Structure 1
Amino acid sequence: MARICSIRGTRVRSGGKIHRSGLAKKKGGIGRHVTKVVKRTISPNLQSKRIWVPELGKFVKTKLSCRALKTVNKNGAFVTLKKAGII
């Protein structure tokens, strides 16, 4: 299954990590230098949850990010899941 939040659509992003070498000037060196930029992936904090929906009287299984879980707590399960098109 893909690493995508079912409510917010948050997915894996790509970015760059900067490699630096050398000793900082304030520590007695000649300064830090960028030697390479390495590609990396940034994964969302996904959780598999069973959310109780009182209006339906059943649990709904979803894979969602922690930010989406806060949204569910704030707005309610039925409203959030209906807006996302899950139910």
Structure 2
Amino acid sequence: MSRVCCVTGKKPRTGFKYAIRGIAKKQKGIGLKVTGKTRRRHSPNLTKKRVWLAEENRFITLRLSMNALRTIDKVGVGQIVRQLRAQGQKV
């Protein structure tokens, strides 16, 4: 299963990890310098969550980001499920 949030569509992005060396200027040094860059993946904060769907009187399991959990709290589970089904996703 891919690491994608089914509500927000968040997925891993690529970026860099920086190696920084030196003494900070406020500690009377010459300053911090980037001495190396390494490629890395920034993964979204995903969890499998069982959510009660009152309209169908059952639990559904969704793979959600924490941002999507906040959206579900605000909008409601029923409306989110309707949107997912309109997009063609199986819920």
Q: TM-score range with shorter-chain normalisation?
A: 0.7 to 0.9
TM-score where L is the length of structure 2: 0.83
**Cross-structure match for 1:52:** 52
**Cross-structure match for 1:28:** 28
TM-score where L is the length of structure 1: 0.86
Identity of aligned residues (%): 38
**Are residue 84 (structure 1) and residue 84 (structure 2) matched?**
yes
Count of matched residue pairs? 87
**Are residue 10 (structure 1) and residue 10 (structure 2) matched?**
yes
How far off its partner does 1:31 sit?
2.4
Kindly provide the CA deviation profile for residues 4-62 of structure 1, in whole angstroms up to 9, marking residues without a partner as x: 10111111111112211122233233322211111121111111111111111111111
Classify 1:72/1:29 alpha carbon distance in 2 versus 1 (closer, same or farther; 3 Å): same
SS in 1 for 2:44: coil
Q: RMSD of the TM alignment (CA)?
A: 1.5
**Cross-structure match for 1:74:** 74
Stretches of 4+ aligned residues off by more than 3 angstroms = none
Give unpaired runs (5+ residues) of structure 1: none
Amino acid at match of 1:22: G
Q: In structure 2, how many angstroms separate the alpha carbons of the residues matched to 1:18 and 1:50?
A: 37
